[in-house]
A and B are shown apart, each in its own frame.
Chain A
Amino acid sequence: MAKGEIVLGCLAPHPPHVVYAENPEQNEAFSEGGWETLRWGYNRLARKLKTIDYDAMVIFTPHWQTYIGTHFLGLPEFKSKSVDPVFPNIFRFNYDISVDVELAEKMCAVAGETGIITKMMRNPDFRIDYGTITSCHMLNPEWDKPLVTISSNRNAHYYSPEVMNEQAGALGKACAKAIEDSGKKVVLISSHSLSHRHFVTESPLPEDMSREHIYNHSQYVWDMKLVDMMRGGKMREVIDIMPEYTEQTIAETEAGGLTWMMSAMGYPDYPAEIYGYQSVIGTGNLIAAWDPMEATREIVL
């Protein structure tokens, strides 16, 4: 069997607003659009994904929060409705997803062997979080690939962002090994915003773009610093400053997604593809991808 490999890594923010703005038939709420910079960026990355041969998507989500280890979805199918607890007015999504249980079990086992606390999630009533759904829908609106969701262990809360970085890095390495052993071609998804301070009020029409802007300039400057480093292929450095960045901007990187993905991909030293940056309810959201194949790597924006 040929070795498995990671064929693409995607930073895919999940404000449910972007799904709401697309008006897919699965979502009950109706919008007049909004957040085009992000949506068009997502559309372009989704087109790139169509050109790539892969077996499964593996997604790390901040909205399945676990305190007792890292958990993996462990049943082949989940079909239900996901309602965002924070923005129920815009996100009530009927989903029907398939899971690559074999790959999930492999990652769970390899992570367990390296000393990481793990658990398979096998309760059929379990509801899929809106982070998973938003990122996966925007990257693959056809939903024609199985996925694996990995929960985010909240060690930044329990210990510190430094500990988060260490543990997410170890999990990334273990997942990469499991993927290699599986013989599968996998797309990794790190589902989160960058800076993450929200406005606590919402305009009467959430998609009113005259009201949308970053929470404050400091958040923006930090986000741009990260984007510059990503363009420059400095992912090791990005992960090194992750604790400071996370604390300064209360970034959603606190869940460990970016560290996990970069560790699994060996801390790329090649430029990231940048697909778009826009604020959603004050938070900073970047869509980016890391393509290990030089021949297909693009300068997008």
Chain B
Amino acid sequence: MTEPDILFGVYCPPHPQPLLSPEASEGYGKLRDAYDTCRKRIEDSDADLILVYSTTWPSIIGHQIQAHPEPEWVHVDDDFHYLGSMPYKFRMDVEFAQSFRDAAESRGLQSRTVAYDGFPIDTGSVVALKLLNPENRIPACIVSSNMYANRAETIVLGKSARDAIQQQGKKAVVVVVSSLSNRMFTEHIDPAEDRIHSAKDDEWNRKILEFFGDGRLEDLSQLSREIHGQIRVQKVVAYKPAWWMSATMGQHNNYTGEVLAYEALHGSGGAVVMLTPSSETVGDKEFDEDDVEHYHGDRGVLDKGAL
């Protein structure tokens, strides 16, 4: 079977400032510029699917997949309502959503599509889709992040996405909506004076971005638990985006990474990163925990890494 056609991945923050108030600070403006760069790259590609995993869409009953063909609403953020409303109308790939659900179920996950008028699409998904795909030129799909899911479940969810991309023969852009460090200031601030909440958060964010810049996605996936303990507010059981992104795009470090922006969003770490599968860096990066399907005996770490 051929590999699924994943053109590139985008990791971007969920907060609405780059959409609603990019002029309020230099940092927000830079994040907006980075979104615009990604948008142009998507426009210039021959992608026919944008698949979004959003950390601001929590689910409880398994994994929910948006399947309304044209969800439409005026969204308002719980915290940043004073920045304005976010009217949206998106175009969803219903057939892909159904295929993704079937793939998830056949890998043992509880999953369902949701297609209801007025369903509350989350801030992160709205921001990402409005900025990355403003004309709805490319149909999209959004998948939730289950509150209770941990590593195995999240990785299997990513593999299901991969199955569906392959089965549907899509050329996909994979979008993960998540902060790096996610601790915001608990007071209202002057956006011009926004900064990362603490030096520790900033250091960790920069370390993560070094990995992203080197294309070491699987390494980040392996570091997820550490990242969760160090710089994530304990809202959910684990930091899952890198698990899902790696399982979906391919669990290796063979990517070209581009960090397009890294700025504070009310204290949290907001980064826009692009990861493109590469064939040029085979074997020069190692990772310590392979994803094993069949045991083939011991191996040298430098033997692995090719697509």
Contact = CB atoms under 8 A, between A and B. Distances in A.
Interface of A: 64-69, 71, 81, 83, 85-89, 92, 117, 119, 121-123, 125-127, 151, 153-155, 157-158, 198, 200-202, 281
Interface string B184-195: 111110000000
Interface string B159-190: 00000000000000000000000011111100
Interface residues of B, number: 35
Contacts of B75: 125
B118 A81 contact: yes
A81 B116 CA distance: 11
Contacts of B233: 157-158
A92 B116 CA distance: 9
Given A157-B235, A200-B148, A68 B187 contact: yes
Contacts of B59: 85-86
B76 A125 contact: yes
B5 interface: no
A83 B186 contact: no
B188 A69 contact: yes
A126 B81 contact: yes
B84 A123 contact: yes
Given A85-B120, A119-B188, A200 B60 contact: yes
Contacts of A126: 76, 81
Interface of B: 57-62, 74-76, 78-79, 81-82, 84-85, 110, 114, 116-120, 122, 146, 148, 183-188, 233-235, 266
A123 B82 contact: yes
A86 B61 contact: yes
A201 B76 contact: no
B187 to A, nearest CB: 5
Nearest to A197: B148
A92 B114 CA distance: 12
A88 B85 contact: no
Given A71-B78, A117-B188, A200-B62, 6 more contacts: A68-B266, A117-B187, A198-B148, A200-B60, A201-B110, A202-B61
B61 A117 contact: no
B120 A201 contact: no
B81 A85 contact: no
Contacts of B58: 85-86
Contacts of B120: 83, 85, 127
B146 A68 contact: no
Contact of B79 (A67, A157, A158): A67
A158 B120 CA distance: 25
A121 B122 contact: no
Contacts of A125: 74-76, 85
B187 A85 contact: no
A122 B75 CA distance: 14
Contacts of A83: 116, 118-120
Nearest to A81: B118
Q: Which 6 A-B pairs have the closest CB atoms?
A: A125-B85, A123-B81, A125-B74, A81-B118, A126-B76, A88-B116
A67 B116 contact: no
18 contacts: A64-B78, A67-B184, A68-B185, A68-B188, A81-B117, A83-B119, A83-B120, A92-B117, A117-B186, A121-B81, A121-B82, A122-B81, A127-B76, A154-B235, A155-B186, A157-B234, A158-B233, A202-B61
A284 to B, nearest CB: 15
B267 to A, nearest CB: 9
Contact of A85 (B119, B184, B235): B119
A116 to B, nearest CB: 11
